[in-house]
A and B are shown apart, each in its own frame.
Chain A
Amino acid sequence: MFKRIQTGNMIKVMIFSGVIFFLGKIFDAYNQGQLSVVLMYFIGILSITFLTGLAGQISLGQGALMAVGGYTCALGILNLGLNYWQSIIFSVLASLVAGWILGVTAARLSGPYLAGTTLVIALAIPSLANRFESVFGGDVGLSVEFGAPPQWLVTLIGEIGFEQWQLFATLPFASIALYFALNLFKSRTGRSWRAVRDHEIAASLAGINVQRMKIFTFVVASGFAGLAGAMYGLRGIVGPSVYPISLSLTLLTGAVLGGLRSIGGAFIGAVLVVFLPDLIETLGGTWEIAPQIGNYLPAMVSSILLILTVVLNPAGIAGGLHHRKSRHK
């Protein structure tokens, strides 16, 4: 049965990749760049979908895990001489380890104590960059990039722009992450996580090792976050300013707005978080809104949306659509 689900997921992933690739060919350079950021945020938000949506653990520090991914990837390229995709794999592995450490620490905590700890971690990890300036480049950071597209690809599909290459280089990893996520969602592990989220005591009575599940969630979530962070850094720079505390909050916002409990929701959230500010800026320009207001309008709108979502429709956009679909059955 699972085999069939896996094939179904494979098809979904191929359609996804196809669509993104197509958009990558028709978008202008700026939006190609934005789309690649959407993919990166998508993977980052997936870490929250699994951690918070599925397993019910709150983390305000996913941005810091992205930083771990980013820094290890950069160090891989600069110090270990790996090429970009080897480095990404290296950084995912490193993030898994970081996730394990985080999980072991955090599994004993819950609720606000967990939130507080992850918050402090979110601040402590970037500050390491300043602590060990020689290694991490301090405030300035390390510069890395995706590099030039390989010749065989250019021969195949023609000239590839800078942002376009960013998109095409990100896409395979996003697709793999999506496939992995889709499978995980429907797997036994996914069900165990849901059980732990909804009723810890019942879950442990049913034979689930709650501690181990929680740690595993952190490991998996960190893997996603690290992957996202690695690619995020490959856009040009890895530094504390690239992974501020607001990044963790942006991911959380995207997750909630799009739908905390679904993969589709994660994607919708990523699209919102990336394109909404652009949209508002354009609207601000058309309606000739004063710059003092216009500058803060995106933040104001997304905050209001966040509150409205949480109060009126906590399941997010994806949740609302799902609800509507099942009512019309």
Chain B
Amino acid sequence: MLMARKLADLMLNIENLVTEYGAVRALDGISFTAAEGKITTVIGANGAGKSTLLRTISGLERAKSGQITWVDKSLIGKAPESIVRSGIAHVPEGHAVISQLTVAENIEMGALFRRRQNRSDVKLAVEEAYALFPRLAERNKQLAGTLSGGERQMLAISRALVSRPKLLLLDEPSLGLAPLVVEQIIQTVDDLCRKSGLTVLLVEQNANTALAVADYGVLLSLGKVVANLPAADLKADASLRAAYLGY
């Protein structure tokens, strides 16, 4: 019975998550759920804890307390490489590609762990990535360090996609990129999400861009969740925007 499917299926459930950097509580009891197949955006001012949230989910940072549940498993205490194998891909902000490797190698890297089980699907995934971002196909023998900012972001996302994730964590994809490029990338992610049912957790500094494509919005401030609303509602709420986003 399709209706009886567990609510917890393919949803990311976060409960009272606390992450500390020394004495500072970067995440101070975060709780929310990322709905399956939807884009949930996490917005907030600098230092609100957005990147830390993604890094804690993907295992790069260790949570002090709280719970992260994905499908029916807890992610707390797991190493990043095993979290990837559970179907979660994280595109970190900044240095998300390895400059000294070629474009092709960067993409291949994302699928290495799947090669043994499913060679043909890996090949397919790589082809799909090149189809999604044709600019990468043109440059596939070049060193990643020679790409433009936008191309590097596309490459980072491709690397994440070839692992066939069910959940994509995107950390500030717009950082340092021209608005047109940002639009193109966000649009591509949006299309991908709608077509394949990928769940996306999108951290963005640029609230407008994010809320334009997102289904839900989580507003963070100083490590706490201040609002958790459908994106349209969040966008419309001028007082929240003024208080936490400064405009």
Within the complex, are A and B direct neighbours (CB within 8 Å)?
no
Interface of B with A (CB < 8 Å)? none
